[in-house]
Amino acid sequence: MKRMFLFGLVVFISLIFVQNLRASDNYHFAILGDRTGGANQEAFEMVLRDIERLHPDFMITVGDQIEGYTDRETAEKEWDEILKCMKVVTFPVFYAAGNHDIYCEESEKVFSEKTGFKSYYTFDYENSHFVILNNSTAENFEQMGKEQIEWLKCDLRTNRDKENIFVFMHKPFWAHGIAEGNEDAMHTLFKENNVDVVFTGHWHQYASNEYDGVKYILVGSSGGDYGPKENIGLGMFYQFMWCKVDGDKLYASIIKAGNIYDDDLVTIEEEQMSYEISHNLITSEAELFEGERKKSMDVSVRIINKTKKKIENEINWNSKMNWKVSPESRPTEIAPNDTLHSTFQLIQKGGFYPLPTISFVYPFGRDKRYEYEKPVFVHKKINSERVEKAPVIDGKLGKKEWTSTVTVSNFGNFDGNKAKIDETEVSFSHDSENLYIGARCGEDEIDKLKAELTNRDDPVYQDDCIGFLISPHGNYVYHIYVNTIGTIWDKKVDLEDGKQDESWNANCEVKCSKNEDSWVMEMKVPLTDIGITDKTCEISMNIRRKQYRNRESGVWMIDWVYDPSRYGTVILR
């Protein structure tokens, strides 16, 4: 701000004294903006609650607390209502008068009687001097009255050497004075007497500028109408100011109303409940063979009410462009500890992605609401071709070896939209001993492929790669990634014990190659290595392609977790 206190001749200052000095020069205060001129009482009370949660050392208003412009009796009632609201705060409040507070001689008396303050006054706090002015009935500095102006001049001369000087008044005379380059006697007075910051209100919109070392701040609305709609960029929103004084420095921030919360906002039980709602208590599932296009299929929705209250709400669908869900909305009523099962019809009109999304508002806890919205989980299935002659693992993906297989090609992201990866196709075949996987990964910029890792179990998932989650029986998940030069990373996950064995290695045979517009992978996986002993079985599986160039990935099933119920199915016949 300005002066630093200089100790010219100091022989000895104790550490305790220094610590106490710093403590007394460090404090916080809040500034409350206008409430009236079209009062929003709900917003005003929200601001007060926010300030109380931060609990400053004190608070100062910039005026306009009541609507005013009425008779004495009505004004007194309005002040009684405001002072009742103010009881929510547990720290001192200093009032400045606005034009709605003081508009005649009688209203000035009411202001002083109700607030306990004169219309203009000063106070000192720690290392700072605060000046509260009354320009409620004036339109410029000269109209503030000779008595108040002389008092102000005397006060500023007396206190000009204080470390901080802060001035408060309602109307921003500076906006039409120094801010517009006009002659401004009030600004000159402030400049000559080392005023640091001038706080004003009245316009219900935030603004700030500095002139000749004097900072001017127009405090926005704390409940007064600010126009047709909120505009953050123009400072038009319900707010208050939070000020920290540290020595000769002021740190001022604007805080938007409704953004301060108690520390018990969410209990751990409520946090865990919200997770359970998202992952377990609401599900929507359909089933489809890869490449098959049904006219319609059933979608099963399950909602578990794990609360002690009845849930009454609607299940809503956003069908998007490729799908139609019938009905699109259905009212529900779920008793406590009961489960709702509901079936909808899903009709495919176009491509697979984007998938339709289901939404449901789930109430719980202390007036908490979880707004669930997820794409429908379409459980995909694909048949693996049983072959008499095993494909040669040479990275060429020969047509004769893979022609009869069904190909996985619909890759999406976790939001149920089409993945932003180049075209990717994965095929399966098997014999009595091995599972064979062939993948062709399109690549528009083949020279930008990243494949830097060459040692087994290097983190190749950081390269261009393709990965698999494989779970034949649901007890284990076998996790495998292969990069574009055939380096393997793999591990085994025990779902019952929750342990991960990163030393596990499948005896895979892998070959990769590059073409002009793609890279190819062929892999042979011994069935016994992934826990398969049956000649015919269903394998839970998910597939993920990672494309390093654009930092994108695509998945076969719209999830990537160690939960086989979220995988697709590869059927071995």
Largest CA distance in the chain: 108
374 touches 357 (CB < 8 A): yes
* Cα gap 31→169, rounded to integer Å: 12
Residue 248 half-sphere exposure toward CB, CA atoms < 13 A: 12
- Sign, Cα dihedral of 531, 532, 533, 537: positive
pLDDT tens figures, 417-432? 999 999 999 999 999 9
Tell me the pTM.
0.72
- Residues composing the chain: 573
413 touches 558 (CB < 8 A): yes
152 touches 158 (CB < 8 A): no
Question: In this predicted structure, what is the pLDDT of residue 235?
Answer: 94
Question: In this predicted structure, what is the pLDDT of residue 122?
Answer: 98
Distance (Å) of CA 338 to CA 127, 301, 310, 371: 64, 14, 9, 20
Question: In this predicted structure, what is the pLDDT of residue 5?
Answer: 32
* Cα gap 267→260, rounded to integer Å: 17
Question: In this predicted structure, what is the pLDDT of residue 295?
Answer: 73
Residue type, position 454, single letter: T
270 touches 299 (CB < 8 A): no
- Sign, Cα dihedral of 16, 19, 21, 27: negative
Question: In this predicted structure, what is the pLDDT of residue 57?
Answer: 98
* Cα gap 279→262, rounded to integer Å: 27
User: What's the token pair of residue 494?
Assistant: 């025990």
What DSSP designation does 144 have?
A: G
Question: Looking at the domain 15-256, which fold is it?
Answer: Purple Acid Phosphatase; chain A, domain 2 (3.60.21)
pLDDT tens figures, 497-545? 989 999 999 999 999 999 999 999 999 999 999 999 887 899 999 999 9
Question: In this predicted structure, what is the pLDDT of residue 6?
Answer: 33
Question: Would you say the CATH fold of 381-572 matches that of 15-256?
Answer: no
* Cα gap 534→515, rounded to integer Å: 37
Question: Looking at the domain 381-572, which fold is it?
Answer: Immunoglobulin-like (2.60.40)
Domain locations in the chain?
15-256, 268-375, 381-572
What DSSP designation does 534 have?
A: -
């086989």: which residue's tokens? Answer: 564
Which residues of the chain fall short of a pLDDT of 70? 1-24, 294, 320, 404
Question: In this predicted structure, what is the pLDDT of residue 404?
Answer: 67
* Burial tier of 300 (Cβ tally within 10 Å: 0-12, 13-18, 19+): middle
pLDDT tens figures, 261-292? 888 888 889 999 999 999 999 999 999 888 77
User: What's the token pair of residue 395?
Assistant: 């990275």
Radius of gyration of the chain (CA): 36
Question: In this predicted structure, what is the pLDDT of residue 211?
Answer: 96
Superfamily of domain 268-375: Immunoglobulins (2.60.40.10)
